[in-house]
Amino acid sequence: MNGAGILPGAILIAALTAILWGCGSAGKDAPAFDIASGRHPAGWVDADGGGHRSGFNADPSQCRQCHGSDILVPGGGGGISGVGCSSTGFNALTCHADGHLPRIAPHPLPFRDPALHGPAAKRDLTFCRGCHAVPFSGAPGGNPRFNAKIGSLLNGCEDCHNTGTAHPSSPAPDSVPWRGPVSHGDASNLAAACALCHGANLDGRGGVGPACSTCHSAASPLSAPNCASCHGAPPSGAVFPNISGSHRAHNALNLVTGACSTCHDRAGIGSAEHFNQTVNVAFSAPFNAGSGAASYDPASASCTNVSCHGGLTTPPWRGGTIDVDRQCNLCHRSRLQEPPEQFNSYFSGRHDFHVFIFGTVPMISPTCTQCHDTGKLAPGHFGGLGTAAFEQAPAATIRDAVNYAGGSCTPDNAPGNFSIGCHPAPPLTRVWATP
């Protein structure tokens, strides 16, 4: 063997040594890099929170020392390591070969906890699409799946979320995604985020998701968010879920206006009950009558034990009415003759006696309005529905012609008044006071 044959081999060995030394020494500052083996530790690619993603986010320049300056260029050579971000043959991984090359993560790592990524996703799902969707195109109706493999998420977001959607998993009995305690009503940027799968106009055209009008029958959720996209506020129609019933009359009452929880407690927007295709009636505790907890009977569409109605059974929700000027006995009853006592039961003085007398004489019915002027009821009569106290002194509603004062009446017996003959002159004194 002569010297001429030795020289090329020595040059090759020196060159390889330089390459390996260069990568080893250059990579000595790379996180979790073993200089002796010239490799990252096992699991470096998939490690969640401590692998190559964290290293890249910390300082992308350190990766270029071994993986080449073209690390972020599709089809890049991968430098002296031969592995770039778009490689297709590294340990059977396709890496970022789908054209989506890495970038600095726009959020902290790790980010898997729903308390961390949930608010960001609901604020704008397109924020997540850029890294987690396949394909990651933002075209309406593009129907991306959020199953891009990232770190320890072997199936991407679908490791935890419903397959084929970016919605949180839901225990809803009808298996419709995102109808549970985490509601789609919390989502923002509907026109861009929801349009990805529900179509450009959220009409389901071109999308794998249904048209929003499937549920939002009253209006588009884009133009009429919250209640008004499914039903009026209050409901004002004749078809579920926008059945009017007696909503309008009740919504006009003090303490009830706009407070759906008065009769639909724990069934508001965002709850599982709100989307179960059933009208869930549950009364807030302050509206329970003295006789027990308020309840609703779907068969008769009537309520019982509601304090506002004196514990009496209400008229049917659909079509039932109460004439406040003439039907006082639909909400008021005698504490002594019709127990149990309610917050609005009458009991003072000679109420029972007068009710009995007036009730037996048809020509002077209805009974209560012989002495009480319903024109004096507003607004105090319905002023404190959620309390057991009267917001208006009952004596303040007595008709002027009765001349009630100091517990006695001096009826005006002028022609045309109802009280002619009730208490002829001279007037009886203290006829109302209890003996």
| Tens digit of each residue's pLDDT (9 = 90 or more) over 411-425 | 766 555 554 456 655
Can you name the residues that pair with 55 across neighbouring β-strands? none
User: Considering the domain boundaries, does residue 75 fall inside one?
Assistant: yes
SS3 assignment, position 6? helix
Query: In the structure, what pLDDT confidence band is assigned to residue 3 with cuts at 50, 70 and 90?
Result: very low
Query: In the structure, what pLDDT confidence band is assigned to residue 281 with cuts at 50, 70 and 90?
Result: very high
Indicate whether 309 and 279 sit together in one domain: yes
Indicate whether 272 and 384 sit together in one domain: yes
User: Considering the domain boundaries, does residue 428 fall inside one?
Assistant: no
Task: Name residue, tokens 């001429």.
Answer: 4
Q: pLDDT tens digits, residue range 373-420?
A: 888 886 667 767 777 777 778 888 888 888 888 888 877 665 555 544
Indicate whether 182 and 272 sit together in one domain: no
SS3 assignment, position 302? strand
Query: In the structure, what pLDDT confidence band is assigned to residue 362 with cuts at 50, 70 and 90?
Result: low
CA-nearest of 73, 29, 260, 47 to 153 is 47
Query: CA 214, CA 396: separation in Å to the nearest integer?
Result: 52
Indicate whether 137 and 222 sit together in one domain: yes
- Last residue of a domain, which of 47, 72, 104? 104
- Last residue of a domain, which of 40, 74, 104? 104
Query: In the structure, what pLDDT confidence band is assigned to residue 177 with cuts at 50, 70 and 90?
Result: very low
Alpha helices in 238-333 (DSSP H): 247-251
Indicate whether 55 and 135 sit together in one domain: no
Q: What pLDDT is recorded for position 174?
A: 42
User: Considering the domain boundaries, does residue 293 fall inside one?
Assistant: yes
Highest mean pLDDT among 235-244, 352-361, 377-386: 235-244
Indicate whether 223 and 181 sit together in one domain: yes
Query: In the structure, what pLDDT confidence band is assigned to residue 301 with cuts at 50, 70 and 90?
Result: very high
Q: Which long-range contacts (CB under 8 A, 24 or more apart) does 179-183 make?
A: 179/272, 179/275, 179/276, 180/272, 181/270, 181/271, 181/272, 182/118, 182/270, 183/269, 183/270, 183/271, 183/274, 183/275
Q: In a 10 Å sphere around its CB, with 0-12 CB exposed, 13-18 middle and 19+ buried, how is residue 146 labelled?
A: buried
Write phi, then psi, for 329 (nearest 5 degrees): -70, -5
Is pLDDT of 33 > 90? no
- Last residue of a domain, which of 52, 86, 104? 104
Query: CA 337, CA 328: separation in Å to the nearest integer?
Result: 16
User: Considering the domain boundaries, does residue 426 fall inside one?
Assistant: no
Indicate whether 266 and 385 sit together in one domain: yes
Indicate whether 266 and 386 sit together in one domain: yes
Q: Give the pLDDT mean for 230-235.
A: 86
Query: For residue 326, what are the CA distances in angstroms to 77, 246, 419, 422?
Result: 91, 19, 18, 21
Is pLDDT of 234 > 80? yes
Task: Give the single-character DSSP code of 394.
Answer: G
Highest mean pLDDT among 150-159, 224-233, 299-308: 299-308
Structure tokens at 7: 């020289």
Q: Are 61 and 67 in contact, with CB atoms under 8 Å apart?
A: no
Is pLDDT of 18 > 90? no
Q: Give the pLDDT mean for 237-250.
A: 90
**Owning domain of residue 266:** 247-362+379-390
Number of domains observed in the structure of the chain: 3
User: Considering the domain boundaries, does residue 418 fall inside one?
Assistant: no
Q: Which residues contact 79 (CB under 8 A, 6 or more apart)?
A: 64, 65, 66, 67, 68, 69, 70, 71
Q: What pLDDT is recorded for position 313?
A: 93
SS3 assignment, position 403? coil
Between these two residues, 306 and 191, which has the higher pLDDT value? 306
Query: CA 94, CA 98: separation in Å to the nearest integer?
Result: 8
Q: Give the pLDDT mean for 77-96.
A: 76
CA-nearest of 264, 272, 203, 265 to 235 is 264
Query: CA 291, CA 307: separation in Å to the nearest integer?
Result: 9
User: Considering the domain boundaries, does residue 58 fall inside one?
Assistant: yes
pTM of the model: 0.55
Query: In the structure, what pLDDT confidence band is assigned to residue 165 with cuts at 50, 70 and 90?
Result: confident
Query: CA 332, CA 68: separation in Å to the nearest integer?
Result: 87
Indicate whether 173 and 133 sit together in one domain: yes
Q: Are 224 and 230 in contact, with CB atoms under 8 Å apart?
A: no
Query: In the structure, what pLDDT confidence band is assigned to residue 69 with cuts at 50, 70 and 90?
Result: confident
Indicate whether 135 and 78 sit together in one domain: no
Task: Name residue, tokens 């009415």.
Answer: 321
Indicate whether 99 and 122 sit together in one domain: no
User: Considering the domain boundaries, does residue 123 fall inside one?
Assistant: yes
Element (H, E) at 404: strand 404-405
Give residue 28's Cα distance to chain centre: 52
User: Considering the domain boundaries, does residue 402 fall inside one?
Assistant: no
Q: Give the pLDDT mean for 287-314.
A: 92
Q: Give the pLDDT mean for 133-139.
A: 77
Indicate whether 96 and 123 sit together in one domain: no
